[in-house]
Amino acid sequence: MEQVLVRVVLVRMSHEGFADFIEALSRPAAPVPEMTELAKRPAPWESGYVAKR
C-alpha cells in the first residue's frame, strides 16, 4: 500500500507579496523539454517501446 504524507505549513506574506504570488501562478506554464519528450515516449505496454539503459 502506498502512503502519502501531507505537511501543512502556515505561510505568511505581505499583501504585495501575495499579489506577486498570485500573479506568478496566473502566468501560463512554460514547457519543460524533458517532460515533453517523456510524454511523447510510448508506454512499456505500447508497441514501439524501447527500454532505455
Over residues 13-53, the pLDDT tens digits come to 999 999 999 999 999 999 999 999 988 999 999 988 888 77
What's residue 36's pLDDT?
A: 92
36 located within any domain: yes
Residues 6+ apart with CB under 8 A from 41: 49
pLDDT at 53: 73
pTM over 0.95: no
Q: Is position 2 within any domain?
A: no
Host domain of residue 35: 9-53
pLDDT for 4 beyond 80: no
Q: How would you label 23-40 residue by residue, b for 16+ Cβ within 10 Å and e otherwise?
A: eeeeeeeeeeeeeeeeee
Residue 52 included in any domain: yes
Residue 20 domain-assigned (yes or no):
yes
- What pLDDT does 20 receive? 96
pLDDT attached to residue 3:
61
Structural domains in the chain (count): 1
CA-nearest of 23, 24, 21 to 11 is 21
